[in-house]
Structure 1
Amino acid sequence: MYLNCHTYYSLRFGTFSEVELLQLAQQNHVTQLVLTDINNTSAGLNFVRKAPEFGIKPILGIDFRNGTEPCFIGIAQNNEGYLELNDFLSRHLYDGSKIPDRAPTFKNVFVVYPFEQVLLNELDHFQDHEFVGISIKDLRRLPFSKLASLKTKLVVQQPVTFRYKQDFNAHRLLRAIDNNVLLSKLPKEEEANEEEKMYPVQNLAAAFSEFPFILENTEKLLNKCSIHFDFSKDRKPQNLKTYLGSVEKDEQLLEKLCTEGLPYRYEEVNESINNRLDKELDLIKKMGFVSYFLINWDIVSEARRRGFFYVGRGSGANSIVAYLLRITDVDPMELDLYFERFINLYRANPPDFDIDFSWRDRPAMTQYIFDRFEHVALLGTYVTFKERGVIRELGKVFGLPPQDIDFLLTGRYVFDQLDHVSKLVLKYGGLLKGKPNYLSIHAGGILISDKPLHWFSATHLPPKGFPTTQYDMVIAEDVGLYKFDILGQRGLGKIKEALDIVAYNQPEKHKEIDIHNIKGFKKDPKINNLIKTAQCMGCFYVESPAMRMLLKKLQVDNYLGLVAASSIIRPGVAKSGMMREYILRHRNKGRAEEKAHPIMLKIMPDTYGVMVYQEDVIKVAHHFAGLDLGEADVLRRGMSGKFRSRAEFQKVQDKFIANCRKKGYAESLISEIWNQVASFAGYAFAKGHSASYAVESYQSLFLRTYFPLEYMVAVLNNGGGFYRSEFYVHDARMMGATIHPPCVNKSMDVNRIYGTHIYLGMMYLRDLESRVMERILKERILNGSFSSLEDFLDRVFIRMEQLSILIRIDAFRFTGINKHELLWKAHLMLSKNDRLEHPKLFPPRHQKFKMPQLNTTALETAFEQLELLGFCLCSPFELLEETPKNTNGQKDLERHLNKHIDIYGYLVTVKNTSTHHGKRMHFATLVDQHGEVFDTVLFPPVAAKYYFRGKGIYRFYGKVVEEFGFLSIEVIKMKKENYIQDPRYADMRTSKKLFDSKK
């Protein structure tokens, strides 16, 4: 009887989930129910999936509105009707056009016009599929309306938006947030009626007892509706079923491509390779995944044709078919990758292929996929209200002053001591937290469907400009739609750009580079030594302090070691305590036999019986605990947070433990192994995934080894990496580069290298407008370098405040004129009035000005750079108010082992973390006076007493300790050192005297 029900996917309007709606319906003895969210279909698929559990027949529709103003309700008679509704809604969401008062002529849709709208718009003629909706509150007016005579056209339309008063309160807050107004100023027309509730069926029937024909009409309408989506375990994939139009042609093409790929990938094809290939092909055909592999092959083939770099990773990288199709560069034979991780007969979904492109190339590849295939959309996701966001939004809605909102955000308050309004913010914040706020886009998921994607939901058009589904990846997989992950990353941009830079800076060497010669890179002792000594700044996954520490502890000097390290560093292994155990077993090979359970060691000999990869979870569940591969995969997916049912996961967990007991394992062993499995939650990598990362790391390391300066310029031009830009500039200097500030004749918008001279890009000048940058570069490219300030001003339209930025950073140093003198000249040449932006027909005659003798100090230049670039190009130690009391650095740590050291360091990065007891501690990486990196740790007692106050130079006193060959300092006390006073705002003589005294 309920044709108009809302969930919280009626965004910033509804107040509860689709499952709560079904629970509500069950409580009120409702057996048929229409879900009609406002201009949204996000809940539709899960509503259909869950309804049978509550004994309810699900029906889908859409409540079409302009804002909160109702237009009509569309109710799908069947799946074709749902497609019509989604097509119609999507068109309006794309172009932002208003929903018309009158519905189009649908073929498989019932249309219900609200009673109020019919009267307002004076609708008097209705087609067979059109009806007028009457709510309980409309019954009073119905007998006095001309609509009373339309007995066959009247149906019950009792909207359902709330369960109780609390829902209505939450609704009003959502409407105030949506309208960006104080709650007290929220217009009544922006709210729903408080009586939009569900009543028991018998109560609803009693309310309409004087109009039995309305109840009959409603029942007939509901009985004519039926919608179905297959959520069974045996469901067929809904992805594009064939690549060439028939299964036979697809299978022939896949076999042909694999045969062609064998000689490319393997110098010698042996029996084990052929057996692995036959096994995979047989299973891929049985599972119906042939087209999935061919579509991925199509995408990467197009990328190669366009000269785009890519890395294929994910569980699909465990496949020899993917390796032969060049979807991945990971050889599953070399790494003995576990076939059953990516595909087995128990697994309904195909393997994951995450294909990474350069962040610059990804949009072009996304466009290609939309152009190449018919039914394509980006995968949606929901952005929910988070605690901090809710406090900020509700603070505004309740009129709380900004400082009070900021105080609540700190969390350092005593609830009972707060004022009434602050308490309301926190109270109602709990009601909104976790509810959907708006629709967004999945990080990289693209759906390529056999049916039109509007078969499953409407799509909207986010700023990226590609149609995007209104549901997320979990429900997509439930219904049989499996995503293609097309991702963008800066690491590949660095590799590609580094090769381009080598091409112009060292053209004779560029021809010799084969960036895909991974086999050669793996054997290169220089590259492997960089890994062993952790000199990996700028190199993708291996540059972080934690990874640098791990590489040194493991003494990794080969590809397989790097593959393992890439996964060991993940929080799952570290959390279980197995990272330390892995290091111990790696350094002492006899320890594995002594400590590991024989079955665990047999399952995972390469990792000394320690679970490191996702497939290890499957192996342990299958071989150690006796679960079948399907159950093992439920466990693996549960660990990665992709499972649907907590109950299903619990069932598998119980069976894991029960099976172990049947096998006679000790309770302590069962507990230990299960804790290792559980610690993997959301963090473990597939081995093929780690191997893909290691391949890209080797490519980066090759460039850093043989073309370090070109590579570092590419790193900077692609947004850096783990660290701030200044540290990549520092690293380039340490490798022999001469760093120059921006120059109007030498610099581009990005960094540019000439031999060993790197000119910083104008992009670092934070206040320089992009249009000014464009003008300078365009003029220089068209008409050559600038000869003087006068020449520059004759050719480039620029305002004084923008010109002063360039002069202050010394971008006109080629003139040989002091920048103070240039600033005087600029002020005299540029009037205060805005200059007209037009080309000059005749070069102007410039008046000669006599300038006083002006000087610029090195100290002044350093502070100008600090202000304009965010860092200075001299050593920051030169800016200290007091000269360091010693010259200790990273080189001195070894001779101070187990002793105390007094050392100065410029802060690179701090990792704030907590102990198991919730106490704060810090790991900090710093650069010493000689430019070398060292590491410190502040344990909770010290962290409680001392804390880092932003970037700058700190003096530490602490004990040098060593763990597995990695040296660090356990800090006892520390102090931030003061910089000299900025000479531009201080007594120049005093500052200069201090500066000179330190030289």
Structure 2
Amino acid sequence: MYLNVHSQYSLRYGTMSVASLVEEAAARGITQMALTDINNSTGLIEFMRECDEQGIKPIAGIEFRRDKRLLYIGIARNREGMRELNEFLTEHNLEKKPLPDRAPSLVNAYIIYPFWYPGELNPNEYIGIRFDELNKLYGKDLKALKDKLVALQPVFVLDKVEYRLHEYLRSIDLNSVLSLVKPEDKCLPTDMFLPPGQMEAKYSRYAFILDNTRELMGRCVMDYPRGRINLNRRTFTGNKKNDRELLEKLAVSGLEYRYGKNNKEAQRKVRHELKVIYELDFCAYFLITWDIIRYSTSQGYYHVGRGSGANSIVAYCLRITDVDPIELNLYFERFLNAQRTSPPDFDIDYSWDEREDVQDYIFKRYGSQHTALLGTMSTFKDRSIIREIGKVMGLPKPEIDSFTDPRKAAENRNNPTFRKITAIYERMSDMPNQRSIHAGGVLITEEPITYYTALDLPPKGMPTVQWDMYEAEKIGFDKYDILSQRGIGHIKMAVKLVEDNHQRKIDIHQVKAFMRDPKVNAQLKTGDTIGCFYIESPAMRQLIRKLDCEDYLTLVAASSIIRPGVASSGMMGEYIKYHHAPETVNYLHPVMKEQLEETYGVMVYQEDVIKICIHFAGMDGTDADILRRGMSGKYRSKKEFDRLVERFFSEAKKLGRPDDVVAEVWRQVSSFAGYSFSKAHSASFAVESYQSLFLKTYYPREFMVAVLNNYGGFYARYLYVHELRKAGARVHLPCVNNSDSIVNISGIDVYLGFVGIHGLNETFINLIPEDRRENGCYVSLEDLIKRTGIGLVQVVILIRVGALRFTGKSKKILLWEAHLLMGAKVRVSNEPELFAMEAKNYSLPVLENTRLENTYHELELLGFPVSMSSFELLQTNYRGEIGANDMINHIGQKVKMVGWYVCEKTVRTKTGKLMWFGSFLDVEGNFFDTVHFPNTTTEYPFTGAGCYLIEGKVVIEFGFASIEVFQFGKLQILNNPIID
């Protein structure tokens, strides 16, 4: 008879998971209880599943609080009542209205007020009384209340130990030390399950209260369907027959567009896929995805279709993806087969500035009651929580810092305070911490989604469910992934700039032509891919060089073997070796040759793992699919994964596979867990990479401007400016008479935009170019001030960055003039003056700026130098013994090089030690890479941006040379003359 039970989903309040909560209740003989988490219904369906397993009657509800104060508890009579409670909470969440003191009148839900509630009660309303409040009934006339009192025994914690954990959670939530948390901000030490029989004993003098409680709970029936059922929108057109006919019509039309009229193989595959799609009832899923693409295309938006759905030729014909499944021999049955209960994933990428409009269309097209974004649930796993625990314990900052310092790990192990913090952290680490929003998942439902969840409104978000993708799938919802990435923004803007600058229209979807272009493939082979989607990182450029990658199929493989699963298992090296010498492949087993000859016996894609599990180990398609989900991070159950390990070995043994071969095959399979790509996914990435690469090859300046204007990519902004100069651009500092808010290009002249200037107000970032376009160029500093109303601080920023150099005056003179003008309070005027009054001229001494002074201004205001290179800033003229292009001639030799820092990557060895990989540019602007083993990292660390003197040995792997660093350090630069 527990009407007020809380799980960990009462965030930073409850301590028990739903599973442990129900398990504990069953152990105590509890036969019915109500889950009423604070201001959420996250655990609703999970709670019913767990109760069904334990033979407990589940009742659901919500505890409503405002500013931490309990207002009332809603108990659902049935699923309609739960919808009413969810909709009430949703209304206040979405409209950001505070919850009212009085609950609304609900038809299918009961409301329980705390004992102090004095108001008149409706028929569906009750007053809950705790056992420690029963003394307040003494001597009272209970006639009016007798039928309205119910027993209220809140449950927040399991025992006294968890009560202490609860206190830590409350302290973290309130950002307060433990001793300052008020009693009203936490639960009572007695808010837990009572020993069997104790509830009845405590209320024995008021048995009618228990009778009322039993009667109320007896009227509640959670009449939800049990097990996973399809809760997605079931049709697109309104009935399944029309859906089927429309999908077939669209597929046949698209087939002709993609393959022409006489491609028999394509026709056969389309017919086969349509049959499977019909049988599995996935027509609506395909059609809704097509509808989303249709809308975005009509708006001129460019998309990339990824995910397992890219294996489908029907998806290719519907233009959901640009990946040709026939060309790549994609394994359709792996993703859509008779055992599959959920549709394949479609990940649809849009430019970062277009996705929100696509989401808005989905909400309007399919209705706000039936559409929501998917949520996520973050936990306390991040070790930064150790710092939070230390703070609530009241520890001084230096002591907290020492607990998070990896160098003091051995010392900390023997520290009793650290051991206490660690014990608390371990209890807390898997607990949910806060609800957030999924990267791009959208749910479209058949019935109102509030039957299953209340909705949140995250900052700058849209209505969002209160559970994550794992729970969504268990309940019966399949998501549509509407994602964004900057790579698409690069492509879209570059195409527009090419059209403006060269009067040439590019059909960027003609990817097959790009793949056959020898110039594009030559550029790919060199690894000159800075700015290109997915292939610009140091690791990817190295891999491209090691593979001598110069075609689409090799790039598809590279997009997958770069993933940690393949790389950490040692199979990346094997793949590269066999790629160069396929005749030397030694297949582990004939099945490996039969299934994986295309990838030299190496498991590169998710499909490869599935094929091996089915054909080598004799597993069925269902288990293979579960395994695939485990490897892609979409299946939570470690128990299920462990079961498959056992099944893999037992089934392989039945087929007579040698034990040592089985063990090695499984090692390779298991190394993929959480990291592998499907081949279609890799192929989608490679398509976008080729689109970027085509633009970079033929229009490098426009492409790099687009990269800068879409906020870059893997690297810092200055590297893309460097690439612009390599491409022959004249890069100019921002200028009030030539720059726009973003970077612009005309011919070979590129003007940096106002957006990149640190400290410049957004108002003037937009106003300066807008006013110039409307009223002509600025003729003087005074003209700029009058027309824009800009203040002194902002003017000084513009002068120091060089944006008023058109005046022909030095920065120092302009600064004098600005102070004189602003001191005289220049009148702002957006109207042309009848008589232009000239400012007074003052006789000033010669005030010139040096290149070095200008460069320091640029470092401060842009973050990188423009007037001088980083090498020119060095105090020394030494530039190293060799350059990047000469490394190949010094293999095995000790050399000294000077490099401009580009980036670094920190990794841990198998023994837990730190090592680094670095990327640098030499004085000629060519890349070279470094490896820093653990024996050098402590003594010679990276110390941020700048030029480094590097001493080490030149090593080579698969034709790619790098430096194994012995020692290195940052070189001194010229002193700032402004400070001196």
Q: Distance in 1 between matches of 2:879 and 2:700?
A: 34
Distance change (3 Å), C-alpha of 1:886 and 1:168: closer
Q: Is 2:671 aligned against 1:679?
A: yes
Match runs of 1:113-132 below 5 Å: 113-116=113-116, 118=117, 122-127=118-123, 129-132=124-127
> 1:19 matched to which residue of 2?
19
Counterpart position of 1:892: 886
- Shift of the alpha carbon at 1:438? 1.9
Q: 1:727 to 1:661 in 2, by over 3 A?
A: same
Equivalence for 2:774: 782
1:725 aligns with 2:710: no
Q: Deviations over 1:489-535 (max 9, x none)?
A: 0000000011121222222xx23x21111111110001111111111
Q: How does 1:236-251 map to 2 (within 5 A)?
A: 236-251=229-244
Partner of 1:61: 61
Aligned counterpart, 2:203: 208
| Mapping 1:946-957, distance limit 5 Å | 946-957=940-951
Does the Cα contact within 8 Å between 1:231 and 1:478 map onto a contact in 2? no
Q: Is the 8 A contact 2:7 2:15 kept in 1?
A: yes
- Equivalent in the alignment of 1:259: 252
> Any conservation in 2 of the 1:398–1:425 contact (CA below 8 Å)?
no
- 1:378-777 residue pairs with structure 2 within 5 A? 378-413=373-408, 414-415=411-412, 425-507=421-503, 510-511=504-505, 513-592=506-585, 594-777=586-769
| One-letter code aligned to 2:209 | I
Name the CA distance, whole Å, in 2 between partners of 1:670 and 1:425. 43
User: For the residues of structure 1 that align with 2:40 and 2:597, how far apart are their CA atoms?
Assistant: 52
Can you give the 5+ residue segments of structure 2 that lack an aligned partner in the other structure?
none
1-structure distance, mates of 2:643, 2:404: 40
Question: SS in structure 1 opposite 2:138?
Answer: helix
Q: How far does residue 231 in structure 1 lie from its aligned partner after superposition? A: 5.2
State the distance in 2 between where 1:325 and 1:537 align. 32
2:952 aligns with 958
Deviates more, 1:332-341 or 1:159-168: 159-168
1:148 positional shift: 5.9
8 A Cα contact 1:33 1:59, kept in partner: yes
Following superposition of structure 1 onto structure 2, how do residues 71-86 of structure 1 map, counting pairs within 5 Å?
A: 71-86=71-86
**Kept in 2: contact 1:794–1:840 (CA 8 A):** no
Please tell me whether the aligned partners of residues 891 and 954 of structure 2 are also in contact (alpha carbons under 8 angstroms).
yes
Query: What SS does the aligned partner of 2:204 have?
Result: coil
2:787–2:829 CA contact under 8 A, matched in 1: no
C-alpha distance in structure 2 between counterparts of 1:251 and 1:43, whole Å: 36
Q: Cα 1:832–1:171, aligned 2, differ >3 Å: closer, same or farther?
A: farther
Read off the aligned partner of 2:971 and give its amino acid letter. Answer: E
Deviation at 1:206, TM superposition (A): 2.1
Which residue does 1:997 correspond to in 2?
Answer: none
1:633, distance to aligned residue in structure 2 (A): 0.6
1:313 aligns with 2:306: yes
Which secondary structure does the structure 2 equivalent of 1:852 belong to? coil
What is the rounded CA distance, in whole Å, between the counterparts of 1:502 and 1:839 in structure 2? 37
Unpaired runs of at least 5, structure 1: 987-999
Q: Kindly tell me: are residues 765 and 606 of structure 1, through their superposed partners in 2, closer, same or farther at Cα, counting changes over 3 Å?
A: same
Superposition deviation, residue 329 in structure 1: 0.6
Report 1:820-835 matches (<5 A): 820-831=812-823
* Structure 2 CA distance for partners of 1:941 and 1:178, relative to 1, 3 Å: closer
- AA at the equivalent of 1:115: F
1:796-826 Cα deviation digits (max 9, x unpaired) = 2122222111111111111221221111111
Which of 892, 912, 935 is the matching residue for 1:941?
935
**In the alignment, which residue of structure 1 is the partner of 2:264?**
271
Q: Partners in 1 of 2:618 and 2:572 — Cα distance? A: 26
User: Retained in 2: the 8 A contact 1:808–1:864?
Assistant: yes
Question: In structure 2, how many angstroms separate the alpha carbons of the residues matched to 1:687 and 1:498?
Answer: 28
Question: Contact conserved, 1:381 with 1:471, CA < 8 A, in 2?
Answer: yes
Secondary structure of 2:534 counterpart: helix
Distance in 2 (alpha carbons) for counterparts of 1:844 and 1:9 = 69
How many angstroms does 1:403 deviate by?
Answer: 3.9
Pair 963,882 (structure 1): closer, same or farther in 2 beyond 3 Å = same
The answer on whether the counterparts of 1:748 and 1:762 sit within 8 Å (CA) in structure 2 is: yes
How far off is 1:305 after superposition? 0.4
Residue type of the alignment partner of 1:307: G
State the secondary structure of the residue aligned to 2:51: helix
- 1:915 Cα offset (Å): 1.8
In structure 2, relative to structure 1, the CA distance for the partners of 1:123 and 1:845 (3 Å cut) is: same
In structure 2, give the amino acid aligned to 1:63: E
Distance across 2 between alignment mates of 1:306 and 1:669? 54
Amino acid at match of 2:823: S
Deviates more, 1:675-684 or 1:54-63: 54-63
Please report how far the alpha carbon of residue 618 of structure 1 lies from its aligned counterpart in structure 2 after TM superposition: 1.2
CA deviation after TM superposition for structure 1 residue 149, in Å: 5.1
Q: Name the aligned partner's letter for residue 965 of structure 2.
A: V
1:834 shift after superposition:
9.5
> What's the CA shift string for 1:150-176, capped at 9, x where partnerless?
333222211111222222223233333
Preserved CA contact (<8 Å) 1:9 1:43: yes
Taking a change above 3 Å as real, the CA distance of residues 731 and 610 of structure 1, as seen in their structure-2 partners, is same
The alpha-carbon deviation at position 64 of structure 1 amounts to: 1.4
| Contact 1:230 1:479 survives alignment (8 Å) | no
Q: Does 1:931 align with 2:925?
A: yes
**Percentage of matched positions with identical amino acids:** 46
Q: Compared with structure 1, are the counterparts of its residues 822 and 44 closer, same or farther at alpha carbon in structure 2 (3 Å cutoff)?
A: same
* Whole-angstrom distance in 1 between the partners of 2:129 and 2:853: 78
In structure 2, C-alpha distance between the alignment counterparts of 1:596 and 1:42, rounded to whole Å: 48
More deviation, 343-352/788-797: 788-797
Q: CA deviation at 1:399?
A: 3.4
Calculate the TM-score normalised by the size of structure 2: 0.96
Asked if residue 188 in structure 1 is aligned to residue 180 in structure 2, the reply is no
Equivalent residue runs for 1:794-873 within 5 Å: 794-831=786-823, 843-873=836-866
CA–CA distance in 1 between the matches of 2:583 and 2:567? 22
Counterpart position of 2:137: 142
**How far apart in 2 are the matches of 1:591 and 1:754?**
53
**Contact 1:614–1:687 (8 Å) recurs in 2:** yes
**8 A Cα contact 2:131 2:202, kept in partner:** yes
Partner Cα distance (2:140, 2:383) in 1:
50
DSSP-derived class of the 1:955 partner: strand
TM-score, length-scaled by structure 1:
0.95
Aligned alpha-carbon RMSD (Å): 1.9
Sort the Cα spacing of 1:575 and 1:754 in 2 relative to 1 into closer, same or farther, 3 A.
Answer: same
Rounded Cα–Cα distance in structure 1 between residues aligned with 2:824 and 2:967: 54
Measured after TM superposition, the shift of residue 943 of structure 1 is 2.5
CA contact (8 A) 2:349 2:482 kept: yes
Task: Evaluate the alpha carbon distance shift between residue 846 and residue 293 of structure 1 in structure 2; reply closer, same or farther with a 3 A threshold.
Answer: same
**Cα offset, 1:453, TM superposition:** 0.7
Answer with 261-270 or 84-93: which moved more.
261-270
